[in-house]
């Protein structure tokens, strides 16, 4: 790691629309930012520009400066639109105080920063939704999001993508500067020895439609008839928790009793849950590169994933099995097949081996190099 002499320090402003303790939860976007900046904070001056939320705790977290802007609202749409307006205003007034600006791309956060500053901006692209918007929302809400996703990247020059598959979904042109910087995993995950216990694990945000949790419950109900002693542990939190609990209440009593809600977990509790699972399940309808899935693989746990582009690497690495997206019966069959498989241990080991070069330390260095390069080119 570099020493971080005063003359080498870069003043970084990162527009991060989700942060720790956020009322709406935190997903891969926020997790990635904290993991990377925790490893860069001694060498650079980092400011996170985050959205305000109900019950906000205005304090620095992880040793990083936080500035919160926007309106405190229980409406996600209102919260994000307010954040976009106030974040753009902040950049207009204060961009000269920073060497480089990183913006997390979301069609729901229309900042159009290129109109307000000449400072170099890197647009970090951690997802692509496309026509899925029209299946998730009514057309009046879906159409603006779809158009924003197509149009906004055209106005930016520097991009970070988490995988190469996502790049092809956008029309960017040859003049753009693109860097692929994967998500990562904590190095300590490779040191844990898994010991199978009596449960399968879902680990991630409680987003019923996006993460396919409705599919998971339906599939587990069928699976339970064949393996009644295998529990389902749900670890995570999010804005759909109330809806999800209502779905749980509708299940037969014998099935519901085998489902445990672990809530948001971290540290040793998270590691213990990952290492004790028979396997992990990720039934997302849409995904780019799930950090939770990478963490399960790093703990040498086989995984079941939707057959969507963001999870194809699992099958390529023979680290798990896939099922037809949105098909609960197909997921139930995959669960049963993996329970009966004699290759679970080998799948898990292949997954762990495939991630040896994806520690957060290595990812942070790649990220740092690109930021310094972009800042120097415009300096």
Per-domain residue ranges for the chain? 6-184+359-378, 187-354
**Taking a C-beta distance cutoff of 8 angstroms, is the pair 101, 122 a contact?**
yes
Nearest by Cα to 320 from 306, 297, 303 = 303
Nearest by Cα to 302 from 332, 321, 318, 279 = 279
Identical fold for domains 6-184+359-378 and 187-354, yes or no, is yes
- The C-alpha atoms of residue 244 and residue 241 are separated, in whole angstroms, by 5
- The C-alpha atoms of residue 222 and residue 371 are separated, in whole angstroms, by 49
Q: What is the pLDDT along the chain (379 residues), one digit of tens a residue?
A: 455 556 679 999 999 999 988 888 888 899 999 999 999 999 999 999 999 999 888 888 888 999 999 999 999 889 999 999 999 999 999 999 999 999 999 999 999 998 999 999 999 998 888 888 998 889 999 999 999 999 999 889 999 999 888 888 887 766 789 999 999 999 889 988 899 999 999 999 899 999 999 999 999 999 999 999 999 999 998 889 999 999 999 999 999 999 999 998 888 899 999 999 999 999 999 888 899 999 999 999 999 999 998 898 999 999 999 999 999 999 999 999 999 999 999 999 999 999 988 999 999 999 999 999 988 876 5
**pTM here?**
0.87
Q: Which long-range contacts (CB under 8 A, 24 or more apart) does 306-312 make?
A: 306/212, 306/282, 308/284, 309/165, 310/163, 310/165, 310/284, 310/286, 311/282, 311/284, 311/287, 312/165
CA count, 13 A, side-chain hemisphere, 129: 21
Burial profile 100-136: b = 16 or more Cβ within 10 angstroms, e = fewer: bbbbbbbbbbbbebeebbebbbbbbbbbbbeebbeee
Q: Which long-range contacts (CB under 8 A, 24 or more apart) does 313-316 make?
A: 313/354, 314/351
Nearest by Cα to 43 from 87, 7, 84, 95 = 7
Name, in order, each residue with C-beta under 8 angstroms of 96's C-beta and a sequence gap of 6 or more.
119
**Taking a C-beta distance cutoff of 8 angstroms, is the pair 109, 80 a contact?**
yes
- Beta 158-161 vs 177-180: how paired, if at all? parallel
Nearest by Cα to 275 from 201, 331, 367, 376 = 201
Span 6-184+359-378: which CATH code? 3.40.50.2000
Name beta bridge partners: 158.
122, 177
Span 187-354: which CATH code? 3.40.50.2000
Q: What is residue 5's predicted lDDT score, i.e. its pLDDT?
A: 56
Which SS3 state, helix, strand or coil, does residue 75 take?
coil
């Amino acid at each position: 790691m570099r020493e971080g002499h005063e003359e080498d320090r870069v003043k970084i402003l990162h527009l991060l629309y989700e942060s720790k303790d956020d009322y709406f939860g935190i997903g891969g976007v926020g997790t990635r930012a904290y993991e990377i900046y925790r490893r860069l904070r001694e060498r650079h001056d980092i400011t996170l520009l985050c959205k305000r939320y109900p019950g906000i705790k205005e304090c620095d977290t992880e040793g990083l400066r936080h500035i919160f802007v926007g309106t405190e609202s229980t409406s996600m749409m209102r919260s994000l639109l307010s954040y976009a307006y106030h974040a753009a205003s902040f950049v207009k007034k204060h961009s000269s105080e920073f060497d480089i600006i990183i913006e997390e791309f979301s069609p729901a956060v229309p900042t159009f920063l290129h109109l307000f500053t000449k400072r170099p901006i890197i647009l970090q692209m951690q997802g692509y939704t496309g026509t899925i918007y029209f299946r998730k929302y009514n057309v009046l809400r879906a159409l603006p999001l779809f158009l924003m996703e197509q149009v906004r990247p055209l106005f930016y020059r520097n991009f970070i993508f988490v995988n190469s598959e996502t790049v092809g979904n956008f029309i960017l042109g040859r003049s753009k500067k693109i860097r692929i910087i994967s998500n990562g995993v904590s190095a300590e995950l490779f040191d844990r020895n898994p010991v199978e216990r009596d449960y399968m694990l879902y680990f991630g945000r409680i987003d019923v439609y996006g993460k396919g949790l409705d599919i998971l419950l339906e599939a587990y109900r069928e699976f339970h008839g064949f393996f009644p002693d295998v529990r389902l542990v749900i670890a995570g939190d999010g804005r759909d928790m109330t809806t999800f609990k209502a779905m749980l209440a509708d299940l037969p009593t014998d099935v519901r009793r085998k489902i445990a809600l672990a809530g948001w977990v971290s540290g040793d509790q998270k590691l213990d849950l990952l290492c004790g699972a028979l396997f992990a399940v990720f039934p997302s309808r849409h995904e780019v590169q799930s950090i939770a899935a990478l963490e399960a693989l790093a703990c040498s746990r086989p995984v079941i994933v939707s057959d969507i582009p963001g999870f194809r690497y699992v099958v390529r690495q023979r680290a798990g099995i896939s099922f037809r997206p949105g098909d609960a019966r197909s997921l139930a069959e995959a669960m049963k097949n993996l329970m009966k498989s004699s290759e679970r241990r080998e799948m898990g080991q292949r997954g762990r081996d495939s991630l040896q070069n994806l520690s957060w330390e290595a990812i942070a260095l790649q990220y740092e190099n690109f930021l310094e390069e972009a800042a120097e080119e415009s300096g």
